[in-house]
Amino acid sequence: MGHTIAAVTDPATSPLLAVGSAAIDAAPTPVKEFAVQTFGSADKPVLLAGMAVVLVLITAGLGLLAYWRRWIAVVGLVALAAIAGAAALTRTPDPIAVVPALVTGVIAVAGLLWVRAGVLGSAGTQSGTATGTATGTVPGPGADVTGARETPAAERHASPARESPLDGPRVRSGQFVPTRRGVLIGGPAALAVAGAAGGTLLGRRRDDGAIGRDRALPDPSDPAPLLPEDVQLELPGITPFRTPSPDFYRVDIALSTPRIDVDTWSLPIGGLVDEPITLRYEDILDMALVERWITLTCVSNPVGGPYVSTGRWLGVPLVDLFEQVGVRPEADQIFTESADGLTMSIPLDAATDGRDAMLVVGLNGEQLPVERGFPARLIVPGLFGFVSAAKWITRMDLSTYDRDIAYWTERDWATDAPVLTQSRIDVPGPLQRVPAGTVTMAGIAWAQHRGIRSVEVRIDDGDWQQAELAADGGADLWRQWRFDWTSTGSGRHDVQVRATDGRGEAQPQERTAPFPDGARGWHSIAFVVE
Ligand SMILES: Nc1nc2c(c(=O)[nH]1)N[C@H]1C(S)=C(S)[C@@H](COP(=O)(O)O)O[C@H]1N2
Ligand SMILES: [Mo]
Residue 194 sits in the same domain as residue 297: no
Residue 258 sits in the same domain as residue 406: yes
| b (16+ CB within 10 A) / e for 442-461 | bbbbbbbbbbbbbbbbbbee
Residue 31 lies in a domain: yes
Residue 389 near residue 377 (C-beta atoms within 8 A): yes
- The residue that leads in pLDDT, 283 or 130, is 283
Instruction: Choose one of 357, 390, 410: the last residue of a domain.
Output: 410
If one counts the domains in the chain, the total is 3
Q: What pLDDT was estimated at residue 397? A: 98
Residue 447 sits in the same domain as residue 304: no
pLDDT-derived band at 441 (thresholds 50, 70, 90) equals: very high
Atom of ligand 1 nearest to the CA of 408: 12
Q: Is 411 in the pocket of ligand 1 (CB under 6 A)?
A: no
Residue 384 sits in the same domain as residue 430: no
Distance (Å, whole) CA 145 – CA 263: 61
- The residue that leads in pLDDT, 133 or 184, is 184
Rounded mean pLDDT, 204-230: 84
Residue 402 sits in the same domain as residue 431: no
| Contact residues for 375 (Cβ-Cβ < 8 A; gap 6+) | 210, 212, 260, 262, 265, 281, 361, 367, 368
Distance (Å, whole) CA 382 – CA 502: 13
**Which residue's alpha carbon is at the smallest distance from atom 10 of ligand 1?**
386
**Which residue's alpha carbon is at the smallest distance from atom 2 of ligand 1?**
391
Q: What pLDDT was estimated at residue 166? A: 43
Distance (Å, whole) CA 480 – CA 446: 9
Backbone CA torsion sign across 211, 214, 215, 218: positive
CATH number at residue 444: 2.60.40.650
- The residue that leads in pLDDT, 371 or 201, is 371
Residue 353 sits in the same domain as residue 326: yes
Residue 163 pLDDT exceeds 80: no
**Which residue's alpha carbon is at the smallest distance from atom 5 of ligand 1?**
252
Tell me which of 251, 301, 340 to substitute to probe ligand 1's pocket, judged by most ligand atoms within 8 Å of the beta carbon. 251
Residue 165 lies in a domain: no
Residue 133 lies in a domain: no
Instruction: Choose one of 369, 388, 410: the last residue of a domain.
Output: 410
Residue 189 sits in the same domain as residue 258: no
Residue 243 sits in the same domain as residue 370: yes
Residue 168 lies in a domain: no
Q: Which ligand is nearest to the CA of 342?
A: 1
Tell me: the pLDDT tens digits for 35-67?
777 777 677 788 888 888 998 899 889 988 988
Q: Is 389 in the pocket of ligand 1 (CB under 6 A)?
A: yes
Residue 491 pLDDT exceeds 60: yes
Residue 284 sits in the same domain as residue 390: yes
Instruction: Choose one of 410, 443, 469: the last residue of a domain.
Output: 410
Tell me: the pLDDT tens digits for 413-430?
999 899 999 999 999 999
The set of long-range contacts for 124-129, using a CB threshold of 8 Å and a minimum separation of 24, is 124/155, 125/172, 125/173, 125/175, 126/172, 126/177, 127/151, 127/155, 127/156, 127/158, 127/159, 128/159, 128/160, 128/161, 128/162, 128/163, 129/161, 129/163, 129/165, 129/170, 129/172, 129/177, 129/179
Residue 353 lies in a domain: yes
Least confident of 17-31, 124-138, 275-289, 365-379: 124-138
Residue 215 lies in a domain: no
Helical axes 99-120 vs 15-26, angle rounded to 10°: 120
Rounded mean pLDDT, 373-389: 97
Residue 153 lies in a domain: no
DSSP character for 144? I
Residue 508 sits in the same domain as residue 405: no
Residue 160 lies in a domain: no
pTM for the full predicted model: 0.77
What residues make up the domain containing 518?
Answer: 422-529
Residue 61 near residue 80 (C-beta atoms within 8 A): no
Q: Is 245 in the pocket of ligand 1 (CB under 6 A)?
A: no
Residue 20 sits in the same domain as residue 64: yes
